[in-house]
Amino acid sequence: MNTFLFLSMPGGSEWFIILAVVLLLFGGKKIPELMRGLGKGIREFNNARNNIENEIKEGMRESDRKAIEESKKEV
């Protein structure tokens, strides 16, 4: 159980070290470009997730409509 202890979220000092390494690796000019790419990726992921949710909801509505129509035919 203690073997996964190192997988917890980073604290304040760890975030500072991570940001410093990113700044050293990519420089100040590349960071805005990286953040735009990250934002675009997150936006595309959320759009895809919303599309899937809408398709599932539409499929559930359609199956409910079919069930209602079948129950009306039986009566």
Residue with token string 């190192």 = 6
How many angstroms separate the CA atoms of 59 and 22, rounded? 44
How far lies 12's CA from each of 35, 50, 62, in Å? 20, 33, 49
Instruction: Count how many residues are written for the chain.
Output: 75
How far is CA 27 from its chain centroid? 27
Number of CB atoms found within 10 A of residue 54's CB:
10
User: Full-prediction pTM beyond 0.85?
Assistant: no
pLDDT tens digit at each of 75 positions of the chain: 455 666 677 777 888 888 888 888 888 888 888 889 999 999 999 999 999 999 999 999 998 888 888 888 776
